[in-house]
Amino acid sequence: MTALGTSSTVAVVGTGTMGQGIAQVALVAGHRVRLYDTAPGRAGQAAGAIAGRLDRLVEKGRITASERDAAADRLSPAADLAELADAALVIEAILEQLPVKQELFAALEDIVAADCLLATNTSSLSVTAVAGGLRHPGRCVGLHFFNPAPLLPLVEVISGFATDETAATTAYDTAAAWGKTPVRCADTPGFLVNRIARPFYAEALRAHEERTADPATLDAVLREGTGFRMGPFELTDLIGQDVNEAVTHSVWNAFFQDPKFTPSLAQRRLVESGLHGRKAGRGWFDYSEGARRPAPLTADPCPAPASVALHAALPGPAAVLRELIEEAGIKVTEEGTPYGPEGFLRLPGGARLILTDGRPATSRADGRYFCFDLSLDYRAATRIALAASAQASEADRAEAVGLFQALGKQVSVIDDVPGMIAARTIAMIVDFAVDAAARGVATPEDIDTAMRLGVNYPGGPMEWAERLGARWVWQLLDAMYHHNAGGRYVPSWALRRRADLEE
C-alpha cells in the first residue's frame, strides 16, 4: 500500500456539497483536513456543517463521541490559500470550468511541497487539460467522487496523459484506505460512469421523441422489467435536467459530436422551459404538493391462452419463459426442429411472439408478430413491453397480453419501433462498455464495478455481454442501424470482434 498516512494533511478547495462530503470522508478516515473557499466565510460555514454531520453520526452510532471530538479538532478552515502549504494531498471541488481549475492548480504549485498530490474532482473535464499548465503535471490525478461522497462507495481514479503511475497508485490506495471502492480509468470523456451510462438516458429520450411510449411507461419498463433502481426520466428529474443535459453536451462535444452521444431536443426544450426536475418543482413529472405521478400504460386483464407452441429455443434469458409458461399451467407443445435459427412462441390464433432482435414487428415478411422486450431476468421481472405488427388483430393482442399476465407480469403495449425499450438501452450500454474495455479505458472488472456502484445498475455491462452474447447484441444493433439513418447504432468494432470469437 502507498496510501497517505493519517499523519498527512488533506486540503479540500471548494466547500459546496461535494467539497464538504470529500472533507468529511478524509476527516473520518483520520486525517487533518483544511478547508478553503474563495468566498469569505464559506470555509468556516462548511466546517460548521461538517461538525453537524459528525454529531448525526454519533446519534446513529456510526462513530463515538470521542471520535467525533477528535475529528472536530482535526478540521480547520483556511482563510488564505497559503495555509495549505503543508498538505500532502489537495483535492479541488470547485466550478466545472477549465480555466478556473487551471488557475487554482497553478497557484497551488507555488505553495505546496514538490511531492504534494494535486487531485481534481471534475466529472466531465479532461484531467490532462487541467494539469496541462503545471510545471509538474505528473502529480495531478483525477479523484472523481460521487454525490453524496460520504455514502456512495465509488471513486474513479483518472490518469491524465502525463500523470505519473506513482501518483495514480497513491490516489487509488488512499481512496481504498478511506473505505471507498476505487476504479482506475484513463482520461477519456465522461470517464467510466458518465461515458457508459449515456445510453440509459439517451435511448429513453429517443424513444420518447419517437412516440414509443410516455415517460411513465418508459420508466416502468426499465425499472420493473430489467431491475434498474429508477427509470431514466425520474432519475434525470432527481439529478436535474440542466445538470444531466450539460454532462451529455460535454461528452458529445469531447467526442467531436459523435452521433452515438447526440443530445436530446426534448430534453433541451425542458431545460429551456426551466423545468429542471425536483429542484424546480417540475421536470418530466410534477412535484408540486398534491400532484400525482402519471401511471404507466398497462393493458387491461385478458384471458390466458390454454396452450402455446414453441418453435426452436428462445434466445438468451428468454429461454426461461418455457418454464414460466408451464408453471402457470399453460401447455407448451413443440413445433418444428428444436434447434432452428430463430426461436418463437406461436399463439393459438397463429400470431408469433418473438424476442426483439432490433427489427420492428411490422418489418417481418409473414405478418402477424408480437415482439416482446428484453429482460435480464424474466422470472423476477414484473412488467413486460409488447409491440404488435400492423397485421396483428385485437384477438392476437389479447392472447399475447393474456399469456404474459398469466406469468404474473404487467403488460405495456408500446409502439412498434426498432429495439423497443430495454433491449436497445442494454445493447447500447454493452457496446459502450465493450468498446471502452477494448480501448484500454479500464479493465472489464473495473467497468462492471463502476456501473454497479456508481449508478446502481442491476449488473455489470461486461457481465451482460457474457450472458446475452456479443453476437446477439451486435445483431440487434446492426438491425437498428439499418432501420435508422445516421451512425448512432453502428456497432463498435470491438463488439463485432467479440461476436466473431463466439462462433
Question: 410 - beta bridge partners?
Answer: 383
Against a cut of 0.75, is the pTM above it?
yes
Residue 1: what pLDDT?
54
What backbone torsions phi and psi does residue 37 show, to the nearest 5 degrees?
Answer: -145, 145
- With CA atoms as reference, report the closest residue to 361 among 318, 316, 303, 420: 420
pLDDT tens string 8-50: 999 999 999 999 999 999 999 999 999 999 999 999 999 999 9
Residues 322, 403 contacting (CB under 8 angstroms)? no
pLDDT per position as a tens digit, 109-146:
999 999 999 999 998 899 999 999 999 999 999 999 99
Question: Which amino acid, one-letter code, is at 7?
Answer: S
Catalytic (active-site) positions: 123, 144, 156, 194
In tens, the pLDDT along 169-196 reads: 999 999 999 999 999 999 999 999 999 9
| Residue 485 confidence (pLDDT) | 81
Three-state DSSP class for residue 257 = coil
CB neighbour class for 426 (10 Å; exposed up to 12, middle 13-18, buried from 19): buried
Contact 95, 121 (CB under 8 A): no
Joined grid coordinates for residue 429 = 450500454
- 140: phi then psi, degrees, rounded to nearest 5: -95, 130
Closest to 478 in 3D by CA, of 323, 357, 341: 357
β-sheet bridge partners, residue 141 = 119
- The answer to whether residues 200 and 358 touch, using CB atoms and an 8 Å cutoff, is no
pLDDT score at 413: 98
3-state secondary structure of 388: strand
